[in-house]
Each structure stands twice: as structure tokens, then as C-alpha cells.
Amino acid sequence: MANLNIKVNQQNTYDVIVVGSGASGGWAAKEFCEKGLSTLVLERGKDVKHIKDYPAASKAPWQFEFRGTLPPEKRMGYGAGRFVNETNINFSLKDDEQPVVYEKPFRWFRGYHVGGKSLLWARQTQRWSDLDFEGPVRDGFAVDWPIRYKDIAPWYDHVEKFIGIAGDADGLPHLPDSIVQPAFDVSCLEKFFKESLAKNYGDSRQLISARCAHLTDPQEIHIQQGRTKCQNQTMCNRGCVYGGYFSSNSSTLPWAAKTGNMTLRPNSVVHSLIYDDKKEKVTGVRVIDPEHFEMFEFYAKVIFLNASTLNSNLILLNSKSKRFPNGLGNDNELLGTSISWHNYRGKANAKYEGLLDKKTSGRTPTNSYMPRFRNLYKQETDFLRGYAIGVAGGRGDHSDTDGLGLDLTRSLLYPVDNDYWQLSTWMMGECVPVPSNHVRLHESLEDKYGIPQLVISCEWTDNDVKMAKDYVEQCTEMFEKAGFIDIDARDTASPPGSDIHEMGGVRMGKDPKTSLLNAWNQMHLAKNVFVTDGACMTSTGTQNPTLNFMALTARAANFAIEELNKQNL
């Protein structure tokens, strides 16, 4: 990290400041540094260096003190304590770091460390089509997206070539093909289920290999990044020493660093953006040192906000000035509203009595995927939009642990095949944004840095409940037609946010009266500020969203570079 002299403004001045080092922040850093712009990357959490700082990577259970579990006293201070174990505690957040007011049940998972949630994501990378971009204007919710597929398609290409995507060319109009390397194989039960769908539903329901950001045939660009082929360890959220899957740590941040144009500053809690009323622009960022609680200021011509959806909303809401008393660019009072996420409430599993001459062997980091099939070309249900379905089938082995002594030892040493194959599915539904689902700053409560606590006020809508009900009905029907037994399809009623994909609050749009950002992710009322993480999303689609964040970021960064060259920023 460069030596920063906080007493001299000139040494705290850069061409660009990027707030956040996750998937989108890493892409912003890469694009700007490649074009020769001095770029400061601010990360709230600790430094995590690729390979060096993955303490749990590739470890077998017996290499941990407690075989992966943790005693209660070591889980103290973590709100999601039952989810914290020896494999992930290195990337877990303590409760006192950023207390939150949950006005209604919600789960907010954060990744405050260099690389952010790019070290923790599910690595699924399905493109959007115009079916998704046109959803709001066609179905009458949210506002119209200011872009269409043709606007982002070249940037999907740009991102996919660099990060590496495993998958197939499926030829589906509602799920455009990606630039892919060979797909991972799927189980024979998933292939059987695919055949059953074709037999019973024709081409209206397809099962494909889920596209994922893993290298199966590394190209020269990946070798230059120092990455190699995925080893199928399926320990991805511990960090991958092979760089087999894409993360900021293994890919974009090192790429930016080798240009000599990037300054990475971890342990930098962003308080707010600095708006200069006289210059009528944002001039920099206020940062708090979490160790000494000192406030520093850094300055730049362009600010990219990639702090993760809800934290980006918090930073903008806290960026108050005489011109913007309610938060930066918030004249229309829409900042922090229409927060949305994905609907993962539905789960299902079943057994199959056939294929008993086969079993699973080895591991795969991905699964099968059923693209959205509801309301594709006409409104056919009592809910808007639809859902995709994740599918995974396997037949492993088990040990009978009821015995004692020598019987138990033999059972553990010589496990037997499970009686039947099992298939599991989960829904990924599009939540329709509603203004009442929002975040705001608490009027009096602050965190230990003096930053107002975020109030999260979000809940399911009737549309979400009806969608989960349909998933349960359809999964049951598909399982029955496939000849499965012991079918269990249910609505878990899990709280919003349980599956991480928060979006919205600083949405893109065509009209400053109804949106915060334009077609280039540029704030309508603060032209040198760009928001390209999940906060920018106008609607959610059914696909995992990170590919969109990265493509939008690369597109916006290159637009910002052009505007800088034209002296428009």
C-alpha cells in the first residue's frame, strides 16, 4: 500500500476513488487502472491477500481443531453464530462492527474484507435478456430500465472472457448464451429429470447446466492472472488457492495493482461523500480509521460507489449537505426506497428408486438450472414475473452410527450406498420492488464510528407468497410426473434477505423524478458519482445478479473515462 500523508491534500488526491473491493469494486479498479488513472480503492474491512490469507483453504476436517465446528464461546459476538464455524470465521462479521435496526425480520449478510462477497458468492452467472429489462414497463411495476440487452451485451462479453465461465451454449432466447468454457458434468439423476421434463412439458421447461465463474479450460488471459483450472474441491467460500473461481482477490485487484496505478486502503470505514456546494459536485470521501477513530478525507474527480447494496444506500443517505439535506442526489426522496431481493422461500426434495447401479463420485462446484418458465410470453398466473429453479441430484453413502464399539468403527470405516437417489430443488424468484420496502437512517442511534445506524424495513409481499405457492405446486407436479417418491415441497417462509441478493434503493431510470441514476449508472444530480453495485438495480430478475453488477461497472467505468477525457466531469 502506498504511504499516505494525511496532512497534505495533494497526496490524498487521486483521479478516481472506488468505495468497496468486491466483485463490482474490483472491476472498477481494473478498468480505471488499465487506462492509466490513479485509483484509490477503499475497503471497510481487513486486508485479505490471495492465497496467503485463506487459512481454511483446502483443509480436511481433521486438520481443524474442532473438525470444522466451533465451541459456543468462540461463536460469541456473531449474530449468525450458528452459521459460523472454523472454515468461515475468517470472513465473518462481529455484531459490534455495524449494528443494524431490523424494523421487520430480515437477514443482512456482509462481506467486509478485501474482496468482499466475491470470496463468498455462489459464482452463478446467467445473463439477463430483454424479458428482464422490459419487465417493469411491461408488467407495470418499478420504472422502465434505461437500457436493454443490446446495451450491456458487449460488456457481458468483456467480463466473461476475463473471469472465465463454465457452461453450455443453450440457445434460449430468455437466457442469452454466454462466452463459455466446457461445462461441469451433472448427475445421471439430473439427466433423467431433464428427460422427464422434455417428455412431459416439451420445450417449455428446460434443465441446463448452471453457468458458473469457474475455469475448466484456462485461456491465456487467465494464465496471465496466475489462475488455473478448478480442482472441484467445493470449498470455494474459504478462498481458492488455485484461483479456480473468480474473485476480486485472485483476478481484478492483482490485475489493477500490477499497473502501478492502484492504491488499496483496507480498514477504511467510509462515513460519507463530500459535496461542495460552490463547485456543485462531489469532491471526495470521508473515511474513519477503525483503530484510532480518526477521520480522513480523500479527493478525486470521480467516485464509484461499490460498498454493497445496503451500505451504498447508507453512505449516500449520510452524505448530507446544504444542497442535499436528505442525502446526496435525493431531491425526489426516493433514495433508500424500493429495496428488493430474491425469493428463495421454496425448497423441495424427493427420492428416486431407479438408477441403483450408479452413484455419485467426486464433486462439482455447480448444479443444474431451470430457467424461468412462468409468465414468459403472457401473464398466466395470479402473480407477476416468475422464478428459476436450482436442481441438484446425488446418491452418496452413509454410515450407521447407532452401534457401539467395534460395530460403530466398522460402519464408519466402511460406509454403504444410500438406498435411493435424492433430488433437491430451490426457487430463485423475482421480487417485485415496492416503495414501502426501504432503508433509512435512525434518528438517534449511531454505531461506534458515529455513523447513524441503518434501519431496514422490508417484508414479503402477496406476490412473493403466491410465487412460492406456485413453486411448491409445480415442483410437486414435476416430481410426480418423473416418478419420484417421498416428495417434500414446502414454503419455508424464511425472512427476506436470507439469500443475500439485496438490490435497489439507488435505481437506474430515464427520469430524475423517478430514479437516482441514468443509463450510465451516473447520479442524475451528482454527475461525477457512479453507483454500480446492487443498489443500482431497478428490478431483480431471477438470475444471480453479480454478473450484471460487473458488466454494468465495466460499462460505466469506460463511460466515465470518456467523460473525463472530454473534461465533462
| Distance from C-alpha of 473 to C-alpha of 484, rounded to nearest angstrom | 15
Return the minimum-mean-pLDDT range out of 76-90, 248-262, 334-348: 76-90
Return the minimum-mean-pLDDT range out of 122-126, 199-203, 416-420: 416-420
Question: Global pTM?
Answer: 0.95
What band does 5 get if pLDDT is binned at 50, 70 and 90? very low
Q: What percent of the chain has pLDDT over 70?
A: 98
DSSP class of residue 3 equals -
DSSP letters for 349-402 = EEEES--TT----S--S--EEE---SSSSS--SSSSS-EEEEEEEE--EE---S
Top-ranked range on mean pLDDT: pick from 354-363, 495-504, 523-532: 523-532
- Which residues are CB-contacts of 60 (< 8 A; sequence separation ≥ 6)? none
H/E element, 1: none
What band does 6 get if pLDDT is binned at 50, 70 and 90? very low
What band does 1 get if pLDDT is binned at 50, 70 and 90? very low
- Confidence check: pLDDT of 7 > 70: no
Strand partners, 270: 287
Q: What is the model's pLDDT at position 4?
A: 44
What band does 8 get if pLDDT is binned at 50, 70 and 90? low
Q: For residue 439, report the phi and psi dihedrals to the nearest 5 degrees.
A: -125, 150
- Confidence check: pLDDT of 289 > 60: yes
| Distance from C-alpha of 394 to C-alpha of 422, rounded to nearest angstrom | 6
Q: What is the model's pLDDT at position 81?
A: 52
| Mean local confidence (pLDDT), 524-539 | 98
pLDDT tens readout for residues 92-135 = 888 899 999 999 999 999 999 999 999 999 999 999 999 999 99
> Residue 203, exposed/middle/buried by CB under 10 A (0-12, 13-18, 19+)?
exposed
What band does 407 get if pLDDT is binned at 50, 70 and 90? confident
C-alpha cell belonging to residue 170? 443453450
